[in-house]
Structure 1
Amino acid sequence: MALKATIFKARIQLADMDRGLYADHALTLARHPSETDERLLMRVLAFALNVPADDRDGTLEPGKGLSDTDEPDLWHRDLTGRIRHWVEVGQPDEKRLLRAAGRADQVTVYAYAASTPIWWSGIAGKIARASNVHVWQVDAAQSRALAALAQRTMQLQVSVQDGTAWVGDGERSVEITPHRLGN
């Protein structure tokens, strides 16, 4: 018998000074049985860093991610179904990224494991021709600290300024500074 996904709900109060975006969001995420709290919270962070200012041109929503190789962790599809933004968390292989680059206007990856430099050195040259792919590295210690905020129901405050995000739950706060890899 297959294990079922665990549902997590996050209410996010977002203050993104870099984009002039201040909004509240409710997010329902299904955590795949093989997914860790660290990866789940990285998806929440990716949502906060990429959510569009308004929904006139579609919304950023969770994809099936681990459950379906044809869908990303998050995606922004416009009202016609065109994929405006494909967001991955982790270390996807170059075939997946190149396929996503052909389907979406923009592809963003948030890699967070200590092995990210090794993964990146193996795929950087292979995805260089895809100018719409942007890869960010989150320090492994920062992503582990972020995982400590995981609860089935979360009230999170996310503040972004000068490329640094502070994620807190009212008791604890984690500072995260993604660093861009490649071009």
Structure 2
Amino acid sequence: MATGATIHTFAIQLADMDRGVYEDVSLRVARHPSETDAFMMTRLLAYCLEFEDGIAFSDGIAATDEPAVHVRDLTGRLTAWIEVGAPDAARLHYGSMQAERTVVYTHRDPAKVAAAWAGKRIHRADEITLFSFDPGFVDAAVAVLERRNSMALSITEHRVYLELNGTTLESAVHEHDVPLP
């Protein structure tokens, strides 16, 4: 029998001083058996760092035509395509044609992620931004991850301060350009 998704719950106090977003958010995040904890944590961080009305997780791995996280306006129009990890160039090309804004958050080496896109056709590549965290930050967060989580996330001057289940971590949010063909 196939193993089902593992559900993690998060009670999040979000304070994004860079964007003026202050919210208490309760989330249930399903981690598919083929998804790593680092990918799920990066997906959660992307959700928080991009938080706005209309943000949602996709339907998961089965939703091949959706990003990990997306934002829709009140009419249902896709306004932000938010990828996680190391999506291929074709997926970025497709996503940047579907939404006004496309970004990628990665827990991997950003130079290697961007190198895989070099020379590939990506619609509006100059408008796509790749974000990463300090080495070890996501791994340290994963180390204290539980099924039920209490989390406070503050963002100021492109720096993330994370308190997760009593452990305090911090990282810069690094911004990288996508290589043009």
Deviations 1:42-77 (A, max 9, x none): 11111110001xx3xxx2111124232111111111
State the SS of the aligned residue for 1:156.
strand
Q: Which runs of 5+ in 2 are unaligned?
A: none
Deviations 1:3-22 (A, max 9, x none): 21111111110111111221
Q: Which residue number in structure 2 is paired with residue 15 of structure 1?
A: 15
1:69 is matched by which residue type in structure 2? Answer: T
Alignment of 1:1-183 (within 5 A): 1-52=1-52, 55=53, 59-114=54-109, 116-126=110-120, 127=122, 129-182=124-177
RMSD of aligned alpha carbons: 1.7
Deviations 1:67-93 (A, max 9, x none): 321111111111221111111110000
8 Å Cα contact 2:72-2:80 kept in structure 1: yes
Tell me how far 1:128 sits from its aligned partner. Answer: 7.3
Provide the C-alpha distance between the structure 2 equivalents of 1:125 and 1:178, rounded to a whole number of angstroms.
Answer: 26
State the SS of the aligned residue for 2:140.
helix
Provide the C-alpha distance between the structure 2 equivalents of 1:125 and 1:177, rounded to a whole number of angstroms.
Answer: 28
Moved over 4 A (4+): none
Tell me how far 1:170 sits from its aligned partner. Answer: 4.9
Deviations 1:94-121 (A, max 9, x none): 000110000011111011113x312312
Provide the C-alpha distance between the structure 2 equivalents of 1:129 and 1:79, rounded to a whole number of angstroms.
Answer: 25
Tell me how far 1:125 sits from its aligned partner. Answer: 4.1
Aligned length: 177
State the SS of the aligned residue for 1:151.
coil
Provide the C-alpha distance between the structure 2 equivalents of 1:60 and 1:96, rounded to a whole number of angstroms.
Answer: 20
TM-score, L = length of structure 1: 0.89
Provide the C-alpha distance between the structure 2 equivalents of 1:118 and 1:170, rounded to a whole number of angstroms.
Answer: 31
Q: Which runs of 5+ in 1 are unaligned?
A: none
